[in-house]
Amino acid sequence: MSAEVSLLPVSSDPPHRRRSFGEPLARLVFTFAALLVLLSTLMVLGFLAQRGLIGLWAIGPAELLLGADWRPELGRFGGRPLLFGTAVSAALALLLGGAPAVLAAIYSVELAPAPARRAMERLMALAAAVPSVVYGWLALVHLVPAAAQVGGVLYGDGAPGGEGLAVSGVLLGLMIGPTVFLLSASAFAKVPKDLREASLALGASPLHGALYVVFPAAWRGVVGALLLGFARAAGETMAVQMVIGGARQLPLHLFTPTTTIATQLVADMQNARPGTLASDALYAMALVLLVFSALLVVFTRRLLLGGQK
């Protein structure tokens, strides 16, 4: 039986010349999308930097960063209460939420049975997706009354409402905990299995190996997770605004109302007309928050990339 011979002409063009029309069009769409994202981001950052520097120049860095009186209606723009509230609430979040999340991640990856580990990871992923306003509402309804009772016992009439840094720190800790857990668990899971086996071969218990072998090997990822959690806590707005009190003053203690940069931006932006000094002051504080968060992100990336070399 004779073999059939194909009579179709064979193209002599190389493969790279026989591209369909769809590939150049796809490249054009992807390039346009990339340029659109890049240009829009640069425009937002450029506008914020321009207006923020105008406000910083008009008010003065010393007054904006060190002044203790923030009253735009009187032309006073001392941002120290805002900076203090932002830093303390984020630090409390790391202490109350970030550190327990790291310990929970160690347990999940190194000590927990496989079903429990999968359940914890799914639960944390679900908690990380909950909108911040839901956390804020739950804190307003449940945490603020409890904090008012605790503050009343500790300070008497000095903590009448329960709003302040204490509730804000607990709330932000609950919000950043799932993110820190997931990032830390990912860092622990990337530690080579050989290190664990060597630790067990030397007679170490799983707990000892987790604390003295796995944790030191994954410390860069853990620090990166904590820094990203700190950056998120520092920039949180709506949830914190519901429980911090909104008082434009330095707090006497953790149970008195105060404010943060993000919450004060929301509170004052409706009354700040464009082109006024009050508007430029808000842009300046937004620029300060942006620079602070960007420095944290850059430091985290350098830290994580340094661990991969």
Residue 90 lies in a domain: yes
Residue 170 lies in a domain: yes
- Phi, psi values for residue 170, rounded to 5°: -65, -45
Instruction: Please return the burial class of 69, using the count of CB atoms within 10 Å of its CB with bins 0-12, 13-18 and 19+.
Output: middle
Domain tally for the chain? 1
Residue 260 has φ and ψ, to the nearest 5°, of -130, 175
Structural domain that includes position 210: 81-307
Within 10 A of 116 (CB to CB), how many other CB atoms are there?
Answer: 12
- Rounded to the nearest angstrom, the gap between the alpha carbon of residue 261 and the centroid of all alpha carbons in its chain is 15
The CATH number of the domain holding residue 300 is: 1.10.3720.10
With respect to residue 187, please indicate whether it lies within any of the assigned structural domains: yes
Other C-beta atoms closer than 10 Å to the C-beta of 281 total 26
- The answer on pLDDT for 94 being more than 70 is yes
The pLDDT of 160-171, averaged and rounded, is 88
DSSP class of residue 6 equals -
Say if 15 falls within a structural domain. Answer: no
DSSP structural state of residue 9 = P
44: in domain:
no
pLDDT in tens, 100-118: 999 999 999 999 998 999 9
Query: Which residue, chain included where needed, has tokens 């987790």?
Result: 210
Buried b (16+ CB within 10 A) or exposed e, 240-266: bbbbbbbebbebeebbbbbbbbbbbbe
> Which positions ≥6 away from 1 have C-beta within 8 Å?
none
pLDDT at 33: 94
Taking only the tens place, the pLDDT of each residue in 240-273 is 999 998 888 888 888 889 999 999 998 888 887 8
Does the pLDDT at position 2 exceed 70?
no
Chain segment 282-305, per-residue pLDDT in tens: 999 999 998 888 888 888 888 777
Residue 154: the pLDDT is 83
Q: Would you say residue 150 lies in a domain?
A: yes
Q: Enter the tokens of residue 91.
A: 């630090």
Among positive and negative, which fits the CA dihedral 118, 120, 126, 129?
negative
Residue 158 confidence class, pLDDT cut points 50, 70, 90 = low
The CA dihedral of 263, 268, 270, 273, to the nearest 10 degrees, is -140
Q: Is residue 269 part of a domain?
A: yes
pLDDT of 269: 82
34-63: average pLDDT:
90
Strand partners of residue 76: 71
Cβ-defined contacts of 100-103 (< 8 Å, 24+) = 100/173, 100/177, 101/176, 101/177, 101/178, 101/180, 101/181, 101/184, 101/229, 102/180, 102/181, 102/184, 102/222, 102/225, 102/226
Pick 151 or 4 by higher pLDDT.
151
Q: Average of pLDDT values for 192-204?
A: 85
Q: Whole-number mean pLDDT of the chain?
A: 86
**Euclidean distance between CA atoms 290 and 296, whole angstroms:** 10
Q: How far is 81 from 67, CA to CA, in rounded Å?
A: 8
| Predicted pLDDT of residue 196 | 85
Which pLDDT score, from 0 to 100, does residue 185 have? 94
Percent helix, strand and coil across the chain, each rounded to 5? 75, 0, 25
CA–CA separation, 56 and 65 (whole Å): 10
- pLDDT tens per residue across span 59-86: 888 888 888 889 888 888 888 999 999 9
Query: Cβ neighbours of residue 133 under 8 Å, at least 6 residues apart?
Result: 238, 239, 242
> Does residue 18 belong to any structural domain of this protein?
no
Alpha carbon 233 to its chain centroid, in Å, reads 6
CA distances from 284 to 144, 234, 248, 289 (A): 31, 16, 17, 9
